Amino acid sequence: MKKELSGWYSPALEKDMPIVSYGDYGFALLLVPTAAADYLEYERFLLIDALQPYIDSGKVKVFSVNSINNESWLNNEMAGEHKAIRQNQFNQYIFNEVIPFIKVHTSAETPVITCGASFGALHSMNLFLKRPDIINGVIAMSGVYDLTEYSKGYWDDQVYFNSPMHYVPKLTDDWYLDNIRKSNHIHILSGSGSYEDPDASRKFAGELYNKGINYELDIWGEDMTHDWPTWRAMLPFYIESRF
C-alpha cells in the first residue's frame, strides 16, 4: 500500500498541518479524526489496514488530516467565542487548502467523501453540508450532530452554524438544498452498544427527511460499541457495498 506524508503551513490555521494519503486511485475519502487526535489516528487503530484491499485495488484513495478539537471545543481553558473562531478556521482550512490538495493529487473530477467517527462524524457531516459543491458525500459513524454536546453551554451564531442538528431544520436556501440533494452518499451509521447514541442518528436523519434529502440510516446491533472494532467493521463494509 502506497503511503505519502505531506503538509504545509496553513494560512487559515496559522500553523503547520500535516496530511497523509494512502493509495493511488479511486474516489477520495477524507478522514477527520475522532476527538483531539492526529492525522495518523486511523492508521494506529488499524482502520487503514481494514481498508487496504480497497486502497490496493484502486477503489479508494484515503486522505487523513489533523484534528484541531484540542484548540477549540475540547479546550476547557479557551473562551467559547474563541473555540467557535477556531472551528471556522478549520472549516476554511479544509475547503480552501485540503480539498484543492486532494484535487491536485487525484483529478478535478474525483469525488470527495468526508468521513469520521464520533466527534469526527459531526465534523464530516458539517463540512459536507456547508460545501456540497466541492464535497460529494459523507460517511458519518457513531456521531452526535448537535454541537452543544461539546460547547459546554456556550451558544452563539457560530455554534448554531456549525451544529447540523440546529441549522438543517431551518435551512431554506435552494442553492444548499439542491446541491445537498444531488448526493447519493449521505450515510449515517451507528451501533447500539455501549456508549453509542443511535437515537442521535435517528433524530438527525429525521431532519434530513423533512428537507427532502436522501440519506441512508443504518443502525447496527448491540454488539457494536462506541469503539474502533465497530468502525473497522462499518467503513470497509460501506466502501465495498456502496461505492
* pTM of the predicted protein model: 0.97
Which DSSP state fits 71? Answer: G
For the chain, give every domain's residue range.
3-242
Residue-by-residue DSSP string for 158-217: HHHTT-HHHHGGG---HHHHHHHHT-S-EEEEE--STT--HHHHHHHHHHHHHTT---EE
Check residue 9 and give its pLDDT. Answer: 98
183 close to 125: Cβ distance less than 8 angstroms:
no
The yes/no answer on whether domain 3-242 falls in CATH 1.10.3720.10 is no
Averages of pLDDT over each 10 residues, the chain, 243 residues: 97 97 97 94 98 98 96 89 93 98 97 98 98 98 96 92 97 97 97 98 98 98 98 98 94
